[in-house]
Structures are given as structure tokens and as C-alpha cells.
Structure 1
């Protein structure tokens, strides 16, 4: 069956995310747009994932625990996990490899943590927009160790992508799926041989506001909307 997904959505925990990117607003907007599954992928953190999962259970949308990791090479990677425990284990690993510098709310914005009722329960004071001390390769192997899915993010962007920063996607890593923004630009990369056409390709929103969450347009083939089925489709 074809299911419709958006696997790259930020909450207000990401300092560049709008303050109305709360668990209920995000999940209910995804429901209104007809999506079957979404992934919550804040910058270098997963602290709002559980609240979004709880809302998703009420609404009937699969919410995949995730994170958008920024590697030491300044590459953004979508890291998805089968359950909250694996996501929190990965978060601990990332936190241990982040700078000790604190977030400056006046410059970068607040990093808000919510419960499942959209109550503010705290603020993350880490500098989440900084690069971690984790390499692209190290991140791949750690995600695989946790039985997750590793997806290079927005590979066609001019910054914070594996292509812009390395110039290639390492073929010695068993990467199955990559994310793009522009289909036209992706086709050009394939034509000139920068990207292998044999990857699986997904389009996600990288939504930092509610309006950018995808409509029911981008489908993947999966047996059902369970996380295991989605992971099988991506891997």
C-alpha cells in the first residue's frame, strides 16, 4: 500500500522553529493534511518526541522518534528510531558530543520542551544549532547499532548537506535512502553522476512552521503505517 509521510519536522525545541510548533499543532496539522506518518526531527535533540508520540496515538498518526543530527563536518542527517528508548540512547550519545556552550535565546531563539497537552515543561539550554563532535561515518554506524534509519538530509542544498560539504555520498556506507528538496536539482545531480540513481529518494518538508508540513502528495510503499513497516520500506 502507499502511505503518505513527512519524515523531517521540527518542533519549537529547534531554536529556528516557530513557537506554535507544539506537539498538538504539529500532529493535528499532519492529520488535517492527510498524512499517515511523520517523524519529529529536532536539531541535535529528541526531547519533544515522546509528547508528539502520545498525541499521535490519540489522533491515529504514526509518529517516528527522530533527530536531525549536525555532524562535525556540518552535515545534516535524519536519524530515525523504532522506539523512544533507542532515540533517548542516541540523544545521550549526541549530548555527550556537543559543545558545552549554552544557547543564547536573544540570538538563536528559545528551545521549548512540551508535554502532550502543549504545556511548557522546560527549556533546553544546550547550543543545539552547533555541530556535534560526531563524524558522518560515526553517526551512520551508531544509528545502525541502534537498528535505526540513517538518511542524509536535503542532499541538494547548498549548505549543511553531504554533497555540499563532502562532494559525494560515501558508497562504502550502506545508505539506502536520501532526502531531497528540489526534484529538478536532484535529477541534475543524477545526470552528472554526483548521486547514484539506485538510492531510494524521499521528499520531506524540513518544516519549521505549520504551513510547510507536507500535503498528502509524497508516498512510499509499505505494508502498513507501523514503524517497522516504514523502516522496511526505507531500508
Structure 2
């Protein structure tokens, strides 16, 4: 039976240097539950080191946590890679890290990158610079995400910084996508009117939360049978009764 699910598929943890230190797994899940969300995806910049902790933090919660990564491609485009299992996200991390420049993080400039447990206990700082481009093109990154069983969802495509349309001015022909994320500044109707190239793609709005107060402030409703990546993929395509509410 299909059920209406409220989804926020773009949330950062304290691993992202631009996120607040309060973005700990347990608190993220608690806030998502308070906001009435059914599905969230935790996607940090170029790393999934807190993904398993966030999934573990949801073990007694009605909120389903999907692990993911917000990857940055060679072109400077951000792409969400969203998965059902932390091991899949870890495999994407391995690929991304093999393509990242070997540069140290500068916490005084970018912020700290905290790896934590499900309860929010400090484990270590990630010393590697995460807010940078991997040496992998957009098409290759999306293909790798798909090959690992994930959903590739270009982030905030309308934004000038790191958005697919904002950076490239178009959606490349042949790019295998079911949908994209638009920024909170636009409704799906406004986005489709402004960007005709979005025709045929499912449109998702998410909070892109970097602090607890932002979680669930923007979300997307989807009719799903199960809260899985494949069901979300079907909803983006409007197949088998699954659909997004726009």
C-alpha cells in the first residue's frame, strides 16, 4: 500500500566543515522526527564517515535515514549520491577520495570536520580537505553512484554556485537522471517555467540543512510503498503509482 512520505533528502552533519557542530546524528534524527519527516538523507561533502552513525541513531525512530554523500565533480557541480545502506556510501567515498587532491583542511578558514558516533561522541577530525572538486566528471560521478545501487540527484541545480544549470547553463544530453534537486528559492512550478530543460525530470526540494533549525523547513512529499532508494526513483519517474507531489 502506498503512503505519503515527507522527505528531506539533503542534510549535512558536523562532518561538513560548513555545518554547525550541533549537527550530530542523534540530534539530527530527533529534529527530523519533531518536524514530522518520514525519510531523510544525510549527505556530507565528499565523505560518508558519519553515514553509518546517522543510520544507527535512527534505529528506534520512525524516521528512515538514507546514507549519502554530496559529491563535487570536476566541473564544480554538486551531486547527491543517496543509498539504502552505509556500505554503499562507503564505496562511493572510496571512489571520491581516490580522485580528491591530497590537500589538508584549513579549519581556521573552512571549519572543522568532525567524525562522531551515533550518540554524538567525538571520534576524530578528518584532516583532509573535503570542500573541493574530485577529478571525476559529472557523467562519471552519476554513473558510479548508479552502479553502486544509488540515486544520483544533482543538488540545487538552479544555484549559481555548484548548481548544474547554474554552472553549466544546461543539462548535458545523455546524462542518465531521474530527477534533480532545486533550491528552496523556487517551487517546482517556478523551476519548470524558468528552466524548460527540466521537462521530464522529477523535482525534489530539500532543506540543505547545516544547522538543526533548518531541518524539515523545506521538504518533498512522495507516495511510496517502502522508504527505499528504488521507491524514490520510481516516484521521480511517476511509475507504478509512485509519484511526487508538486
TM-score (norm 1): 0.94
The match for 1:37 is 39
- Unaligned runs of 5+ residues in structure 2 are 238-246
The match for 2:99 is 97
2:148 equivalent to 1:112: no
1:3 CA drift (Å): 0.2
Q: Which residue of the other structure, out of 129, 146, 149, is the alignment partner of 1:147?
A: 149
d(CA) in 1 for partners of 2:79 and 2:222? 19
- Unaligned runs of 5+ residues in structure 1 are none
d(CA) in 2 for partners of 1:13 and 1:200? 29
- C-alpha spacing 1:56/1:227, structure 2 compared with 1 (3 Å): farther
The match for 1:205 is 207
RMSD between superposed Cα atoms in Å: 1.8
Does the 8 Å CA contact 2:203/2:236 hold for their aligned counterparts? no
1:127-138 equivalences under 5 Å are: 127-138=129-140
- C-alpha spacing 1:217/1:132, structure 2 compared with 1 (3 Å): closer
d(CA) in 2 for partners of 1:69 and 1:111? 16
d(CA) in 2 for partners of 1:184 and 1:113? 33
Runs of 4+, deviation exceeding 2 Å: 182-197, 215-218, 224-235
Higher relative contact order, chain-length normalized (CA < 8 Å, sep 6+): 1
2:89 equivalent to 1:87: yes
Does the 8 Å CA contact 1:168/1:194 hold for their aligned counterparts? no
Does the 8 Å CA contact 1:35/1:216 hold for their aligned counterparts? no
The match for 1:179 is 181
TM-score (norm 2): 0.90
Does the 8 Å CA contact 2:67/2:84 hold for their aligned counterparts? yes
d(CA) in 1 for partners of 2:205 and 2:219? 10
Which string of whole-angstrom CA distances, capped at 9 and with x for unpartnered residues, describes residues 13-63 of structure 1? 000000000001101000000000100100000000001001111222111
Does the 8 Å CA contact 1:222/1:230 hold for their aligned counterparts? yes
1:181 CA drift (Å): 1.4
Does the 8 Å CA contact 2:178/2:233 hold for their aligned counterparts? no
1:18-33 equivalences under 5 Å are: 18-33=20-35
1:197 CA drift (Å): 2.4
2:70 equivalent to 1:77: no
Does the 8 Å CA contact 1:8/1:38 hold for their aligned counterparts? yes
Report the number of matched residues: 235
